[in-house]
Chain A
Amino acid sequence: MIYWDIFRMALNALWANRLRSGLTLLGVIIGVTSVITIISAIEGFMGSVQAEINKLGPTTFLVVRVGGIITSEDAFFEMIKRKPFEVEYAEAIEDACEDCEKIAMQAYGFSREVKYRDKKLSNVYIRGAGASMIDIVDYEVEHGRFYSYEEDYGGRRVAFVGTTIQKQLFPNIDPIGKTIKINNLKYDIIGIAKEQGATFGHDADKIIFIPFNTFAKDFGTPRRNLTIFVKARSIDVLDKAMDQTRVVLRAYRHVPYDKEDDFSLLTADSIMEQFNNITRFMRFGLIGITSISLIVGGIIIMNIMMVSVTERTREIGIRKSIGARQKDILFQFLFESFILSVGGGLIGISLGVLLGDLLINLINMDMTPSLLAILLGIGISSGIGIFFGIYPAMKAARLQPVKALSYE
Chain B
Amino acid sequence: MALIETNNLWKTYDMGKVQVHALRGISIKIDKGDYIAVMGPSGSGKSTLMNLIGCLDTPTQGEYHLNGKRVSQMHDDELAEIRNREIGFVFQTFNLMPRSTALHNVELPLIYGGRNREERLQMARHALEVVNLGERVMHKPSELSGGQRQRVAIARAMVNKPSLLLADEPTGNIDTKTGDEIMGLFAELHNNGNTIILVTHEMDIARNADRILFIRDGQIEKEEIVRRAS
Provide the residues of chain A in CB contact with B81, threshold 8 Å. Answer: 323, 325
Contact B156 A322 (CB under 8 A): yes
**Complex-state Cα separation, A5 to B111, whole angstroms:** 7
Interface readout for A151-188 with B: 1 if CB under 8 Å, 0 if not? 00000000000000000000000000000000000000
Contact of A323 with B76 in the complex, beta carbons under 8 Å? no
Chain A contact-residue range equals 20 to 34
A261 within 8 Å of B (CB atoms): no
Q: Mark A376-389, 1 if CB is under 8 A from B, else 0.
A: 00000000000000
Please measure, in the bound complex, the distance between the C-alpha atom of A326 and the C-alpha atom of B79, giving whole angstroms. 11
A320 at the interface (CB under 8 A from B): yes
Query: How many residues of chain B have a CB within 8 Å of chain A?
Result: 25
**18 A-B pairs in the complex with CB atoms less than 8 angstroms apart:** A16-B99, A318-B95, A319-B108, A321-B54, A321-B83, A322-B84, A322-B89, A322-B109, A322-B112, A322-B156, A323-B81, A323-B84, A323-B85, A323-B109, A324-B80, A324-B112, A325-B80, A402-B51
Query: Known contacts being A320-B80, A322-B156, is A405 close to B112, with CB within 8 Å?
Result: no
Q: Cβ of A320: which chain B residues have Cβ within 8 Å of it?
A: 56, 80, 83
- B84 A326 Cβ-Cβ under 8 A: no
B112's partner among A2, A12, A315 (CB-CB below 8 A) is A2
A221 vs B96: C-alpha distance in the bound complex, in angstroms? 91
User: In the complex, what residue of chain B is closest to A320 when comparing beta carbons?
Assistant: B80
Chain A CB within 8 A of B113 CB: yes
- Tell me which of B77, B97, B99, B117 contacts A326 (CB under 8 A): B77
> Is residue A328 within 8 Å, beta carbon to beta carbon, of the partner chain?
yes
Residues of B within 8 A of A (CB): 51, 54, 56-57, 76-77, 80-81, 83-85, 89, 91, 95-97, 99, 108-109, 111-114, 117, 156
For residue A17, give the distance in angstroms from its CB to the closest CB of chain B: 10
The reply to whether A322 and B83 form a contact with Cβ atoms under 8 Å apart is: yes
Interface residues of A in 351-408 (CB under 8 A from B): 400-402, 405
Q: Which 8 A-B pairs have the closest CB atoms?
A: A323-B84, A322-B109, A323-B112, A325-B80, A325-B77, A401-B56, A323-B83, A402-B57
Inter-chain contact A400/B57, CB cutoff 8 Å: yes
| From B57, B117, B156, contact of A401 by CB (8 A) | B57
Total number of A-B contacts with CB less than 8 angstroms? 61
Quick one: which of A319, A328, A405 contacts B91, CB cutoff 8 A?
A405
**With the chains together, A322 CA to B91 CA distance in Å?**
12
Do B97 and A315 have beta carbons less than 8 Å apart?
yes
Main secondary structure of the interface of A (DSSP, over half): helix
A318 to B97: give the CA distance in the assembly, Å.
8
- Specify which chain A residues have a CB less than 8 angstroms from the CB of B113 in the assembled complex: 323
How distant is B97 from chain A, measured CB to nearest CB, in Å?
6
Q: Which residues of B contact A322 (CB under 8 A)?
A: 83-84, 89, 108-109, 112, 156
- A236–B89 Cα distance when bound, in Å, is 82
Given A12-B99, A402-B56, A405-B56, 20 further pairs, Cβ under 8 A? A2-B112, A2-B114, A315-B97, A318-B96, A319-B108, A319-B112, A320-B56, A321-B54, A321-B83, A321-B95, A322-B83, A322-B84, A323-B80, A323-B83, A325-B76, A325-B77, A325-B112, A402-B51, A402-B57, A405-B91
Task: Specify the chain B residue showing the minimal Cβ separation from A317.
Answer: B95
Alpha-carbon separation in the docked complex, A402 to B70 (Å):
20
Task: Determine the distance from Cα of A400 to Cα of B112 in the docked complex, in whole angstroms.
Answer: 17
Smallest CB separation, A316 vs chain B (Å): 11
When chains A and B are docked, how far (Å) is the Cα of A94 from the Cα of B220? Answer: 112
1/0 per residue A327-339: CB within 8 Å of B? Answer: 1100000000000
Distance of A147 Cα from B218 Cα, bound (Å): 110
Do residues A326 and B76 form an inter-chain contact, with CB atoms below 8 A? yes
B residues near A5, Cβ cutoff 8 Å: 111, 117
Shortest distance in angstroms between B136's beta carbon and chain A's nearest beta carbon? 20
Nearest B residue to A2 via CB reads B114
A382, chain B: closest CB distance, angstroms: 25
Q: Cβ of B156: which chain A residues have Cβ within 8 Å of it?
A: 322
The one of B83, B99, B111 that contacts A2, using a Cβ cutoff of 8 Å: B111
Chain A proximity of B164: nearest CB distance (Å)? 13
Q: Distance (Å) between the CB of B191 and the closest chain A CB?
A: 25
- A342 and B112 alpha carbons, distance in the complex (Å): 26
Question: What 1/0 flags go to A1-22 for Cβ under 8 Å of B?
Answer: 0100110010010001000000
A145 to B81 alpha-carbon distance, docked (Å): 87
What's the Cα separation between A327 and B112 when bound, in Å?
11
Residues in B neighbouring A6, C-beta threshold 8 A: 111
A268 to B88, CA, bound (A): 76
Cα A92 to Cα B206 in complex, Å, equals: 116
Measured between beta carbons, the chain A residues less than 8 angstroms from B108 are 319, 322
Q: A317 contacts which chain B residues (CB < 8 A)?
A: 95
Which B residue's beta carbon lies closest to that of A5? Answer: B111
Q: Which residues of A contact B96 (CB under 8 A)?
A: 318
Q: How far is the CB of A225 from chain B (nearest CB, A)?
A: 75
Q: Which residue of A lies closest to B88 (CB)?
A: A322
Q: How far is the CA of A323 from the CA of B117 in the complex (A)?
A: 17
Chain A residues with CB under 8 Å of B97's CB are: 315, 318
Complex CA gap A320/B81 in Å reads: 10
Determine the distance from Cα of A320 to Cα of B77 in the docked complex, in whole angstroms: 10
Residue of A nearest to B80 (CB): A325
B57 touches A405 (CB 8 A): no
Q: Which residues of A contact B85 (CB under 8 A)?
A: 323
Residues on B with C-beta less than 8 A from A2 are: 111-112, 114
